[in-house]
Copies of this chain bind each other. A is one copy, B any other.
Amino acid sequence: MQHSDIVSSSQQKPFGKRNYPLNCWWVAAFADEIGRKPLARWLLDTPVVLYRSEAGEIIALEDRCPHRQAPLSAGKIEGDAIECAYHGFRFGAGGRCLKVPSMVSPPPIKVESYPVREIGPIVWIYLGDVERIDAVPPPPVMEWMTDPAFVIRKGMMEIAANYLLLKENVLDLTHLGYVHAASFGIMDWVNPPTVTTEGDTVTYTQSFVRSPLAAGYAMSLGLEPGTPWNRHGFGTFLSPAAHESGTIFFDPDQPDVPNGRTFFAHLTTPTDSGNMLYFFVAARDYANDAAAMDHFAQILLRGFKEDEEILCKVQALSTRQPRRGSQGERSVKADAAGVAARRIVDRWMARETIVD
């Protein structure tokens, strides 16, 4: 098929086949989810247990006792160690066995221990090839998350869809007028944005000039719904794990001075190739008193549930019956950023030397 507006992209990988890179920093949890009780989480098809040491450091271990495969998270924290609920084997922060109750001295066995980085509200984890960790891009830092000018709200959803579906979702906002017509009410995101690929990142930008404000936008700015206003939208695929986006508002009569900024992080971690954890963080440097932020968070949650609903339908359909024959999905100009992102993920995976 020859048509300048269509891209024939490779379709989704079959369900069950790994569709995410291992050699990548992914989000394990929000920092405030991890304390002195074990937190069990499946990340990249791997059982992980997370807890904090007495000094407050985050410890991440494979959630499987090497003795008889009981999940360590069923046990309890003793000092900086975790004790298996089955036979009382204890493992220290680095994964080394510290005690086997039936033995005088512990044997040289250990459980996998994973590197973690706590950056602002986010805990990143590396589950890949440790030898190659220095060659892997570090977890992205989004400074607005800790900038006192911003107030943040955050949340997490377990979604029965592969993480790439959410990547595409946040890279093509022409779905706003359909999926989110009733929640966000942003009906002017119609044209394909400008897309720029730079190395392994891809960014879209879209500017609106004297475009009528949706009710939610208007309320936050203290304006009437429908007020013609300027705004600049953008979004960047930072890594297979992280997408950052934002909207900056400008009074059309003073088009160089931002009068409000909203930033988002859309952070996705595959639990397996067909399911994800979706961590989101939203922030505003205006209209950010508690009541306004609560209202904002409420609308966001409603919208993200709309995304979840449609993504789960896509996943369920393509899992139950993959498309017949060789015909891939049909992409259009508005998919340019999403298609670029898929190619970047393919490159991440091609770089890996781990053989499953």
Using a CB–CB cutoff of 8 Å, the interface residues on chain A facing chain B are 1, 3, 5-6, 12, 42, 45-47, 63-64, 66-71, 74, 83-88, 100-103, 107-109, 168, 172, 174-175, 177-179, 190-192, 310, 313-314, 317-318, 320-321, 323, 327, 329-335
Contacts and interface: CB of A to CB of B under 8 A. Distances in A.
A86 B318 contact: no
Give the 5 A-B CB pairs with smallest separation, nearest first. Answer: A102-B334, A109-B330, A88-B178, A66-B330, A102-B174
B190 A101 contact: yes
Given A6-B108, A70-B317, A85-B179, 4 more contacts: A68-B329, A69-B329, A71-B313, A87-B334
B47 A321 contact: yes
Stoichiometry (number of copies): 3
Contact of A88 (B108, B177, B192): B177
A173 to B, nearest CB: 10
A330 B178 CA distance: 55
A311 to B, nearest CB: 9
A168 B68 contact: yes
A107 B334 contact: no
Contacts of A103: 5, 332-334
A100 B332 contact: yes
Contacts of A5: 103, 107
18 contacts: A1-B109, A66-B327, A67-B335, A69-B317, A70-B313, A71-B313, A71-B317, A85-B178, A85-B179, A85-B310, A86-B178, A86-B310, A102-B190, A102-B191, A102-B334, A103-B333, A103-B334, A107-B332
